[in-house]
Amino acid sequence: MSSRAFITGVSGLELSATEREFIRGMRPWGFILFKRNVETPGQVSALVEELRRCLGDADAPVLIDQEGGRVARLGPPHWPVYPPGAVFGALYDLEPALGLQAARLSSRLIAADLIDLGITVDCLPLADVPVAGADAVIGNRAYGTEPGKVAAIARAVTWGLEHGGVLPVLKHIPGHGRATADSHFRLPTVDTSKEELERTDFAAFQPLADLPMAMTAHVVFSALDPAQPATTSATIIRQVIRGVIGFQGLLMSDDVSMNALAGSITERTRAIVNAGCDMVLHCNGKLDEMRDMARETPELTGEALGRAERALASRKQPQPFDRQAARAELEALMDRVGTA
């Protein structure tokens, strides 16, 4: 049975009757979890199972933002704390092999946590390249300020996720690092020249263009499209994301309910679809918004369907893994940062 081209959040620890009705009627492609959906391992596993059962698809993708650092939907007392991306960058500066190994270990451990719960997609890695004076929304989530280093660490993070059976989502394409505002609250505008963007921001994403999925940035790049953020800009999606960067995987929006986007949820959804995003993401679990978004989202067909199918088909079975040994090695590497 076909699905619509959207990913939805839900409101709480279990599904309400109206959410079940919405899922059965509107048939999202996948789901995304947040802290409001998380209490214990048993509860999360049951919610994931219920989401898939309600949709009638045992393989429906379930996503989460589990980066480490301050962006972690799973945490103590049931799940470990993982380092933010900047720690891998600091280790990389000591010795590149150390930074890459720490990134692989951390994401492989995260993948093991997720697979235990039935979660199969992590919104990670980041390839954002921050600059001085940018908003702290990226901050220490970033791996560094040099595109080659950022791409190398992002590739190592991808390796850990994929070997753990979890699909990566590259974000925030074509770059959120220069933004001087948090797009959760208002729309950032970047006035950097096209040439400089290609040399820095876009260059970090180019070596990762083969990843199966990516999430857009709610950021205006005035040199490319002064009127629309990347998420709703057909120009940026066609010329930069699909063109300069060369990304050919499944392209999903960042959250349609974020304040960076203008207009009603209906208007925002229409703009995202018309710009060329394959998938609309809605996160806040507000059912009225979810209904408005879903009504404006088309059936998943054509090239978008093909990209979605290829993304899911690329997911590997988890490889053999000694979790205890990996955790000990990661902790030893973290100690190197503390004593540097």
Residues labelled catalytic: 184, 254
Q: How far apart are CA 15 and CA 7, in angstroms?
A: 16
Q: In angstroms, rounded to a whole number, what is the distance separating the alpha carbons of residues 35 and 199? A: 37
Given CA atoms 199, 201, 204, 205 in this order, what sign does their dihedral have? negative
Tell me how far apart the terminal alpha carbons of the chain are, to the nearest angstrom: 55
Tell me whether residue 56 is exposed, middle or buried, using C-beta atoms within 10 angstroms of its C-beta: 0 to 12, 13 to 18, 19 or more.
Answer: exposed
Secondary structure, 3-state, 193-223 = CHHHHHHCHHHHHHHHCCCCEEEECCCEECC
Nearest to 31 by CA among 288, 282, 305, 311: 282
Distance CA 213, CA 209 (A): 9
DSSP 241: I
CB-based contact 234:276 (threshold 8 Å): yes
